[in-house]
Amino acid sequence: MADLIANKKDSASTMSRRGFTVLTSITVAIGGLLFGYDTAVISGAILFVREQFHLSSVQTELAVSIVLAGAFAGAAVGGYLGDLLGRRPALALTAVTYGVFAFVTGAAHGLLPFVVARFFVGTAVGVSSMLTPLYIAEIAPADIRGALVTLNQLAITTGVVVAFYVDYLLAASGNWRWMFMSAVGPSIILLVGLLFLPETPRWMATRGRFHEAWRILQRVEAPEEAERNLAELRRITEIDRLKFRDLFARRFRKPLLVGIGLAVFQQVTGVNTIIYYAPTIFQIAGFQSASSAIFTTVLIGVVAWIATTVSLFLLDRIGRRPLLLASIAAMGLSLILLAVLLRAPQVSHLAIAIAVIAYIASFAIGLGPVFWLLISEIYPTTIRAQAMSVATVTIWAGDFLVTMTFLTLAETIGMGGSFLVYAALCAAALVFCLRFVPETKSRTLEEIEASWR
C-alpha cells in the first residue's frame, strides 16, 4: 500500500512538472506565433498596399522583404541581448516591439513610414526567432525537448495560417491596415505571460547562480535528474568558459557548419517565396480574384499546420535526421512537379495548388522544425545564444536574398524555371545533411556539447 501511495505521488509530481513545462513552452511560443503572423501577413496585404502606394516591382520587393532586413539586424544582436539581459527580459522587449510597430505599420500613409515600421517589426522577429526555441530548449527535459521546441515551429505555422485567414477575411474590403494592426493582441498576451515565467536554468548557471538554477530544474525534472543535470552544468560552465570567438575554434567547426549550412538551405530551397508570394503566384497561374488566391493560400497554411503537428509527435520517436532527409527529398520532387505544371500550356488550378501544398507539407514536417530544433541543441551552453545568432543571421540573410530577387528571377527565367533552381538546391541540401548533420534525439544539451570534443 505504501508503495502504491508513493507511486501515485511520483506520478502526480511528474504530471505537475510536465504540465508546468508544457504551459511555459506554450506561453513562450506566442513569440513564434507573432514571428509567423508578421512575416506572412504581407502575403495578402501587399496586393492592396501595392495598389494604394502605386509601387513598382522593385518597390514591392522592398516592401515585402524589408521585414527580413530587420530580422537580420535583430538576429545579429539577439544573442548578445539574451546573454546580457537574460532570455526572459529580452523576449519581453520583443513583445513590446511587436505591438508598437504592428500598430505603426497599419497607420502608415506612405511607403517610407510603412517600410521603417516593418523594419522594426523585423527586428522583433529576428530576436524572437532565436530566443524562443533557445528558451524552450534550455528549460525542457531531454526526452521531450524535440516536441516542446517544435511547439515554436507549430506556433510559427499557426501564425502563418492566422495571417492568411485574416488576409482572406479582410480581402473583400481591402482593409490592409487591420491586417497589420491585429498583431497587437498577441503581443500583449505574450508580454503578460512572460511576467509569470522563470529564467532558464542554463542562463542562471552561466552567471554562477546555481541555487536558482537548481530551483528551476526541480520544477521541470525529477529530483535525481535535476541533481545530475546541475552537476553537469557546474562541470560544463567551469570547463568551457567560452567567449564568442571560441565558436570559430577547430572543436566547434562542425556545429558551426551544421547551423550555417541548414540556415542557408532552409531558405534557398524556396519556402518563403511560397509563403510571401503565394497569392501572387496563384494570380499569375490564372486565379481570377485576390480573394480566391488568398483563400487557396489559407488552405496551404492549414496543411502546413497539420504537417508541423505530425512532426511534433515524430521528432522524439524516430529522430531528427530521418525526418530531415525525407522532408528535403519530398520538397525537391514537389518543386519539379510545380515547375512542370507552370510550364504546361494548360493545367488546372487544382493541380498547381496540390503541388504547392505537397511542397509546404514536406517542408513543415522536416526542414522547417528541425532547423530551429538543432540550432537550439548543438551549441555550447556558455555561448549558445550568440552561436544561435550566427545561424539565425544566416537564415534571415538568405530569406532576404531569395525574397528580394524572386519576382525579378521569375520575370527573367519564368516561374517554372525559378522553381527548378530551388529543386536543384534541394538536391544539394540533401547531400549536405547526409554528410554533416548529427542525430541529437534523447541526449541532454550537455551530452551533445561534450560530443564535439
For 27-54, how does the pLDDT look when each residue is reduced to its tens digit (9 = 90+)?
A: 999 999 999 999 888 878 888 888 889 8
Q: What's this model's pTM, rounded to 2 decimal places?
A: 0.81
Confidence of residue 257 (pLDDT cuts 50, 70, 90): very high
Cβ atoms of 213 and 233 closer than 8 Å: yes
Distance of CA 442 to the CA centre of its chain: 22
Length of the chain: 453
Close Cβ partners of 30 (under 8 Å, ≥ 6 residues apart)? 155, 186, 189, 190, 193
For residue 450 the three cell numbers come to 561534450
Fold classified for 2-451: Growth Hormone; Chain: A; (1.20.1250)
Structural domain boundaries in the chain = 2-451
Please tell me which of 136-140, 356-360, 424-428 the model is most confident about, judged by mean pLDDT. 424-428
Q: Has residue 6 got a pLDDT over 50?
A: no
- In the three-class reduction of DSSP (H, G, I as helix; E, B as strand; rest coil), residue 200 is classed as coil
Query: What is the sign, positive or negative, of the torsion defined by CA atoms of 114, 115, 117, 118?
Result: positive
Q: In angstroms, rounded to a whole number, what is the distance separating the alpha carbons of residues 207 and 201?
A: 10
Which has the closest alpha carbon to 153: 314, 383, 358?
Answer: 314
Distance of CA 435 to the CA centre of its chain: 24
Residue 450 confidence (pLDDT): 79
Cβ atoms of 149 and 140 closer than 8 Å: yes
Quick one: average pLDDT of 189-203? 93
Q: Has residue 57 got a pLDDT over 70?
A: yes
Q: What is the pLDDT of residues 169-178, one digit of tens each?
A: 888 888 899 9
Residue 288 confidence (pLDDT): 60
Please tell me which of 87-101, 263-277, 353-367 the model is most confident about, judged by mean pLDDT. 87-101
Confidence of residue 105 (pLDDT cuts 50, 70, 90): very high
Q: What is the pLDDT of residues 108-141, one digit of tens each?
A: 988 999 999 999 999 999 999 999 999 999 998 8
Higher pLDDT: 154 or 5? It is 154
> Which one-letter DSSP state was computed for residue 398?
H
